[in-house]
Amino acid sequence: MAQTQNPDTVKTVDAVIVGAGFSGLYMLYRLREAGFSTCVFETGDNVGGTWYWNRYPGARCDVESIYYNYTFSEELLKEWTWSAKYAEQPEILSYINYVADKFDLRKDIQFKARVDSAQFNEEVNRWTIQLNNGQIVSARYFITGVGCLSASNVPKFKGLESFQGEWYHTGRWPHEKVDFSGKRVGIIGTGSSGIQSIPAIAKEAEQLLVFQRTPQYSIPARNVLNDPDYIQQIRENYEEIKKNMRKSLTGIPMEPRNRSALDDTPEERRQLFEAAWEQGGLLSLSYAYNDLAIKPEANETVAEFIRSKIRRIVKNPEVAEKLLPSYFYGTKRPIIDTDYFETYNRDNVTLVDVKSTPIQEITPAGLRTADAEYELDIIVFATGFDAMTGPLFKMDIRGRNGVSLKEKWAGGEQTRTYLGISTAGFPNMFMLTGPESPSVLSNMMVSIEQHVEWVSDCINYMRDHHKGVIEANVEAENAWTKHCREVAEPTLYVKTDSWYMGANIEGKARGFQIYLGGVGPYRQICDDVAEKGYEGFTLQASEESVVNELIQ
């Protein structure tokens, strides 16, 4: 590590940021504006993060585009116009590139540079960051902007290396177009990525086989082009919209209807659900009543409503039956789609239930399940991610006494953080949208801006108050982790095996890793902590201020 390196070869900056996605870019902007020397390292060869890697056919955002953008610059808000209600991946990627150019961010980003390790050096209170190209950087602050869903998960199927065709993971999609025409394509996985890509691939491929383990609830997105008058109206009211986004539960300016599903008659519920189905979108059904995520009987009303829709849309009753989900609605990420269930009415699409007949191996010619062999030219893995901790664990991050983050969060302990931003024993390290913050259960843009602003305010505070080290206290961390679990415990989320629970990765500790208290209340908690001089953290004077005091 750096202690043994020639100091002349070590680059020194105030802050290192990992990742040039939405969070890393805004963090860079804020720190640079405040006069801190900052360097971003990015594995990819361009900006974009999630939207750089997830280029699979049909990829688009499930949060309305007018809410899924930066709000820090009024000028930017006025300059950029989203073409549709839900923006497609290429448009979002263009937006990110536009932002990077507008604010001249690229000059402080090193692309194709992967951070392999980061170690806190207690002698000098600095982080030593090592890159895959051998470069070493010393930074006061180490900030991760690695996202929550960037460590792709390709299940360890026997025989994958023997497969003679092409295979791709949705989260690591190639930049060149994948040609499905005339091909027999198999897709494994029916989460958001699978459900978005299945209708798109079905239109091109000669044959599409969908290997489904768990049927999913999905409701229509009802995407439309944005009307210029609507955009104008949004622009005129953006200050108000922004305020509402920030104080809402999810970062989308909507609140759940304040009524139990069990207080309405079946006919009243049906009418309400029908209206929500027609409206489409991420929250229309989840927000129809206030107890769908808490009471099993309330949840069953919406779950059965969606099942009835699937039975009606899918013409073959046997196929429809296989597509009926049974877990608590909303306890996996709700999915919105364009013609997903309709796609099973196509002649070239076949559904294979791999719950009852599991995939046994990938063969040179395709794939073998417990009762059949399928010949395939292309396999698409829409098999998700090692979420939340996966992106952090890809780096060897070591805090005090050389203890790694992986060791600290190992075994049944799961994650332990203070506010989802920091963790005891890892001074001057900040995790943007880290575990135990609202992150993926919110509009990420709102959560990203909140974290970036909180962290940059904190770093400014440190400079203004001549502090060199900030570290979460163990007591504050324990209290926060306990609070996170207490908020999640009464909900149905913890009763479902999902990636929220770490259940999709073999051997991973189970536990709900996201703060469910809502982005508005969470912002208030973080602001209060800052207002009280960073309550729950220990701040140490900077070396320069100690030296100055000694001299005087």
Q: Rule CB under 6 A: which residues touch ligand N01?
A: 61-62, 149, 155, 170, 188-194, 196, 213-214, 333, 354, 359, 382-385, 440, 499, 504
H helix count then E strand count, the chain: 17, 20
Q: Which is nearer to ligand N01, 147 or 253 (CB)?
A: 147
Q: Please tell me the distance from the alpha carbon of residue 485 to that of residue 517, in angstroms, as a whole number.
A: 10
For ligand N01, the closer CB: 224 or 547:
224
> Considering beta carbons, is residue 358 or 533 the nearer one to ligand N01?
358
Pick the closer one to ligand N01 by CB: 89 or 415. 89
Choose between 51 and 127: whose C-beta lies nearer to ligand N01. 51
| Euclidean distance between CA atoms 541 and 469, whole angstroms | 7
Residue 436 beta carbon to ligand N01: minimum distance, rounded to whole angstroms: 17
Closest distance of CB 401 from ligand N01, Å: 35
Q: How far is the CB of 78 from ligand N01 (least distance, A)?
A: 25
Task: Work out the number of other CB atoms within 10 angstroms of the CB of residue 318.
Answer: 9
State whether the Cα torsion 526-102-42-250 is positive or negative: positive
Residue placing its CB nearer to ligand N01 in the complex, 482 or 510: 510
DSSP state string for 485-518: HHHHTTSGGGGS-SGGGTTTSTTPPP---S--S-
CB of 353 to ligand N01, least distance (A): 10
Cα dihedral across residues 326, 329, 332, 335: positive or negative: positive
Give dist(CA 339, CA 330) in Å, integer: 20
Residues 6+ apart with CB under 8 A from 74: 238
Query: At residue 256, what is the residue type?
Result: P
CB of 323 to ligand N01, least distance (A): 12
Using CB positions, name the residue nearest to ligand N01: 191
Q: Collect all residues with Cβ–Cβ distance below 8 Å to 363 and sequence separation of at least 6.
A: 159, 162, 163, 373
- Are 441 and 251 in contact by the 8 Å Cβ rule? The answer is no
Residue at 341: amino acid letter? F
For ligand N01, the closer of residues 62 and 396 by Cβ is 62
| Angle at the Cα of 143 from the Cα atoms of 385 and 509, rounded to 5 degrees | 35
Q: Report in angstroms how near the CB of residue 484 gets to ligand N01 at its nearest.
A: 19
User: At closest approach, how far in Å is the CB of 52 from ligand N01?
Assistant: 14
| Smallest separation (angstroms) from ligand N01 to the CB of 255 | 21
What the block records as the tokens of 96 is 């990110």
Angle at which helix 444-464 crosses helix 22-33, to 10 degrees, equals 30
Q: Residue 430 belongs to what H/E stretch?
A: strand 429-431
Residues 437/451, Cβ–Cβ less than 8 Å: yes
Whose Cβ is closer to ligand N01: residue 29's or residue 499's? 499
Task: Kindly tell me which of 119 and 443 has the beta carbon lying closer to ligand N01.
Answer: 443
Shortest Å distance, C-beta 496 to ligand N01: 10
